[in-house]
Homo-oligomer: A and B are copies of this chain.
Amino acid sequence: MGLPGGTVVAVQSHTMKSGLSFLVAARQCEIGELEQLALTSELVSVIARLIHALQRERGLSNVYLASGGARLADARCLQRTECLQVEAQVRQHFDQLDTAPRQGGHGARLFSRVAWVLHALDALPGVRAEVDALKLTPAEVTAWYVRLIAGLLAVVFEAADSAGDPEISRALVAMFNFMQGKEFAGQERAFGSAAFASGRTDSSTRQQWLHLVESQERCLQVFRDYSQPAIVQAWLAGQSGAALLEIERLRRFGCGPDGGALDRNLSHDWFDNCTLRMDAMKDVEELLAADLRALCERKIAQARAELRDQQVFLDTLSRESSADAPAGYGPQLERSILGMVQDQAQRLQAMSDELQTVRAALNERKLVERAKGLLMATRKLSEDDAHKMLRQTAMSQNRRLVDVAETVLSMADYL
């Protein structure tokens, strides 16, 4: 937006300051948001570590339960200690969250997700005790961890969705999708282990398996689209070719078109190779987290430098106007001020536009959540059942989950 132009008019300096002070306020506001984002990014990094620890614990608990308590009891015990340590860090970061009100409803949504996660974490010791006592099946314990991890990912999602800086939002979208993709890989590890251990596969197993493969590939594609090329390179280079080949080979047994009997002995081989892959993904996650941290620091430093420049200019302005032109600024200064006001407005507008583009990647998930909510409300389904229903429609019609969700939403009036 340009200032009413055409005529050059003298402008009072005492009122002018108040206009310029809003320029400074806009910049300070940006800096404050960036500082909040830096804290949120730290939280996301720690959550990534907790999810990784829980994924390992889930895997170990599965094997422990499947072997009737014979295998991996010690490893599980060690892993539990690590989980507790990282959980304490996550709780610390939650406590440090600034609970001051913010525009846009993001604060409330984030806190509501945190409340859910804390509630679930509080129940974790009880679940562990039941695993100790072999009172849960591998499927039950898997489902439990899947939902806890989904809750943690929902916190990361809100963080990505609330970021006001497009570059940081982009990095958070990459991070969220990588974490979600890794979680699908973890679920595939558990699912495949159970399938091999059962010694057979059928069409339902195949469909669910393929669905997990496709889900993780879709997430990783978003990660590749939104990440720095250097990180994508590191991701491609860091994957063990041998482990990947072995995973593909085993997938062919488990979810290939043939099906039928599975070699039970391949269960360990499957688990180990999947674990290698998960650990490689963990390394990439650390890179993404470090990149996010560096990005926040760079952006804050840059915004502070720009604020300093702006303030130097404003100081010059107030000196010059009081000395030479007490009644107002000359046409030249007037044009510099106008340029500054316009540049800032345009820069913020461009940021907002870019943000909208970046967030489009988050919309798929929102559509699925909305469709789920609709099914829960209209058909009195639990969240799990609503998700299952969508997923099964997607699988049986060979369509993407998000397309089914869109269809469901467009049929809202009929439900």
B33 and A105 form a contact (CB under 8 A):
yes
Q: Which residues of B contact A91 (CB under 8 A)?
A: 18
List, in ascending order, chain B residues with CB within 8 A of A143's CB: 4, 6
Q: Are B105 and A2 touching (Cβ within 8 A)?
A: no
User: Given A102-B102, A373-B350, does the pair A108, B11 have CB atoms closer than 8 Å?
Assistant: no
Query: Residue A136 contacts which of B7, B151, B373 (CB distance < 8 angstroms)?
Result: B7
Interface of chain A residues 340 through 365 with chain B (CB within 8 A): 341-342, 344-346, 348-353, 355-356
**Contact pick for A118, options B18, B119, B130, B376, CB 8 Å:** B18
Q: Is A235 an interface residue (CB 8 A)?
A: no
Please state if A22 and B115 are interface contacts (CB–CB under 8 Å): yes
Contacts of A22 in B (CB 8 A): 94, 111-112, 114-115, 118
- Listed A/B pairs (21) with beta-carbon separation below 8 Å: A1-B116, A2-B147, A2-B383, A5-B147, A6-B144, A7-B130, A11-B126, A16-B119, A22-B118, A26-B109, A29-B101, A29-B108, A31-B101, A32-B101, A33-B107, A103-B106, A103-B107, A104-B104, A108-B164, A112-B345, A116-B341
Chain A residues within 8 Å of B, Cβ to Cβ: 1-7, 9-12, 15-16, 18-20, 22-23, 25-33, 35-36, 91, 94-95, 99-123, 125-127, 129-130, 136, 140, 143-145, 147-148, 150-151, 154, 162-165, 337-338, 341-342, 344-346, 348-353, 355-356, 366, 369-370, 373, 376, 382-384
